[in-house]
Structure 1
Amino acid sequence: MDLKYYSSYDMLWGTLGTVRPFSNFHPDRDAVAIQAAVDSKDTVTLVRILTNRNNAQRQVIAQTFEELTHKDLASSLKKCLSGDVETLLLSLLVPPVPYEAQRLQQAMAGLGTDEEALMEILCTRSGKQLEEIKAVYKELYKKDLAKELKGETSGDFEKLVLALLNKGNVAGVVQKDIELLSASLNGKKAEAGPWIDILTSRDSDHLNNVLMGLEMETGQTLEHILEKRFTGDFRLGLSILVQCIENPAAFLAKRLSTMKTPVVHGIMVSHSEEDLLCIRVAFLKLTGTSLYSALQKHFKQDHLQALLAICRSED
């Protein structure tokens, strides 16, 4: 991957990640060890090295590997790996911003759209991060992300998705926002506009106050309001957005609890250097089981060892 794709990116969107920079880092040694592991199909060594270096270090390893061997590291891994462990280790080689762009592209690829995957990324990333993702998406796929999303969605859900992609930070008055949302529910059909405008343009502290106030104003839980007054993809999108406003780690833990391989890969790789520790805590609270233990029940062999290395430890 060209260095320009992540040169402006600080590599650590947070400080509660499980994967940290490896202190005794020697990229030349790693590159030589990886070359030997590739030749002997030693998956254990590949997993050990690639899961114990942070993304910035992996980029240096990839560059050093190419200088030493005149081969591309990702292409070399493909020749000696297969299945889920191949997918996971190749994901670890992608810089963070291109990885999010890749996940969005995959959510729209083929028949049907993975609305939950789209909403996960759009709801848990800041406006600044999404600007970087949009720019890299255009570099990678030669397409405009907004136009792609527009082609994959429709109606109020399309408006919500595009508003999230271009989310701002507009100051609002809590009581006024409560009144606007409450009034939107008075007609025979609930108005989507105020929900899109307010929930995609205020900071989370403000919105949490608004949502709590709305429950008091209406005497109904948000879950009940969304269930009864909205339908289809828009209801799904609003539900995910509200969950991410209230507690993004809890939403991601809920997603992880499905133990679907693409979901687990996406969240654990994306959040390994950011806030996976928070997600682990939320997972334990939600399921009564640690993420580390849950992974052991659903995955196996080298793939499991790679996931456990990213998860890091038992809770």
Structure 2
Amino acid sequence: MDMEYLPSYEMSWGTLGTVRPFLNFHAKRDALNIQTALEQKDAPTLIKILTNRSNAQRQIIAQIFKTITEKELSSGLKKALSGELENLLLALMMTPLQFEAYRLRQSMEGIGTDEEGLLEILCTRSPKALANITSTYKEQYNKDLETDLKGETSGDFAKLVLALLKKKKIVGMVQRDTEALAEAINQAKADPGPWITILTTRDSEHLNKVRCIQSPNLYLAQRLETMKAAIVQGVMVSHSEEDLLCVRVAYLRQTGTSLYTALQKQFKGDHLQALLAICRSED
């Protein structure tokens, strides 16, 4: 192993992710192999390398590639590939924070707002992660995330997403919250206020006791059930180094079919092979 190219970040073999640091990592070798693969439009080689390296390792490869070629690796991928495979590998080349900021931006662009896309990130990320995503969004797009959310949403949904963006862990009494939620929903005109407050300010352990939200893993599994390329890629890339194994288990319980098998029924070609590489195996 060439220690010059092995960063000092924490290894993640104990995580519930499916993509982990490649032990025999050599960034220059990878960069040169990728350069050749791009010239030959060799998608299988690109997939093999990029789906078998952690994000931190991919960032190092991109830096070495730029030093060698004086070009951005992402630009090379755009020229050599197309369609969903291009989108997937470009997603893998973003840092995790950049990718989450990108997904939020995509959810607000175009005609109509992808409300589920916003909720997926805002509901499943910690307050600290959301603060970092907000900063990255500002750097990446020179726009304020809170301002954009206000402009792209309205009514009670706007209140919800803005509260989620600023959520903090607050210890509350289970009995009090249960009564407040029951009172809010039993009124002649349901009051969304208490629901928004409790759902966005209580920690996950507290919410599990109230039983007013589902497991994040189940929620993500249900998102994957759509089998829409953008959603599948978004969830799998975002959670590939964190908890995709848990999402796979939730998917199997929810559908009776493993995610690995479901992907093979929906996608094909090199795009499928890249998705399977991130998914890793059958359950």
Question: Could you state the TM-score of these two structures normalised by the residue count of structure 1?
Answer: 0.85
1:292 aligns with 2:260: yes
Superposed CA RMSD in Å reads 1.5
- Deviation per CA, 1:35-67, whole angstroms, max 9, x where unpaired? 111111111100100000010000000000011
In 1, are the aligned partners of 2:37 and 2:46 still within 8 Å (CA)? Answer: yes
Matches within 5 A, 1:37-76: 37-76=37-76
Aligned equivalent of 1:206: 206
- Deviation per CA, 1:274-304, whole angstroms, max 9, x where unpaired? 0000011111111111111111111111000
Aligned equivalent of 1:117: 117
In 2, are the aligned partners of 1:55 and 1:92 still within 8 Å (CA)? Answer: yes
In 2, are the aligned partners of 1:11 and 1:96 still within 8 Å (CA)? Answer: no
Once residues 284 and 169 of structure 1 are traced to their aligned partners in structure 2, the CA distance between those partners, rounded to angstroms, is: 31
Once residues 292 and 186 of structure 1 are traced to their aligned partners in structure 2, the CA distance between those partners, rounded to angstroms, is: 43
Aligned equivalent of 1:6: none
1:250 aligns with 2:218: yes
Deviation at 1:185, TM superposition (A): 2.4
Once residues 210 and 23 of structure 1 are traced to their aligned partners in structure 2, the CA distance between those partners, rounded to angstroms, is: 43
In 1, are the aligned partners of 2:11 and 2:21 still within 8 Å (CA)? Answer: no
Q: What secondary structure, in the 3-state scheme, does the structure 1 residue paired with 2:71 have? A: coil
Deviation at 1:192, TM superposition (A): 1.0
Aligned equivalent of 1:163: 163
Aligned equivalent of 1:28: 28
Matches within 5 A, 1:212-291: 242-243=213-214, 247-291=215-259
Matches within 5 A, 1:84-123: 84-123=84-123
Q: What secondary structure, in the 3-state scheme, does the structure 2 residue paired with 1:100 have? A: helix
Q: What secondary structure, in the 3-state scheme, does the structure 2 residue paired with 1:67 have? A: helix
Deviation at 1:206, TM superposition (A): 1.0
Identity %: 64
Q: What amino acid sits opposite 1:154 in the alignment?
A: S
Higher relative contact order (CA 8 A, sep 6+): 1
Once residues 140 and 11 of structure 1 are traced to their aligned partners in structure 2, the CA distance between those partners, rounded to angstroms, is: 28
Q: What amino acid sits opposite 1:208 in the alignment?
A: N
Question: Could you state the TM-score of these two structures normalised by the residue count of structure 2?
Answer: 0.94
Q: What amino acid sits opposite 2:122 in the alignment?
A: L
**Between 195-204 and 94-103, the greater mean CA deviation after superposition:** 195-204
Provide runs of 4+ in structure 1 moved above 3 Å: 9-12
Once residues 260 and 138 of structure 1 are traced to their aligned partners in structure 2, the CA distance between those partners, rounded to angstroms, is: 28
Q: What secondary structure, in the 3-state scheme, does the structure 1 residue paired with 2:185 have? A: coil
Once residues 28 and 263 of structure 2 are traced to their aligned partners in structure 1, the CA distance between those partners, rounded to angstroms, is: 32
Once residues 150 and 201 of structure 1 are traced to their aligned partners in structure 2, the CA distance between those partners, rounded to angstroms, is: 19
Unaligned 5+ residue runs, structure 2?
1-8
Unaligned 5+ residue runs, structure 1?
1-8, 212-221, 223-241
Q: What amino acid sits opposite 1:31 in the alignment?
A: A
Q: What amino acid sits opposite 2:77 in the alignment?
A: L
Q: What amino acid sits opposite 2:175 in the alignment?
A: Q
Deviation at 1:11, TM superposition (A): 9.9
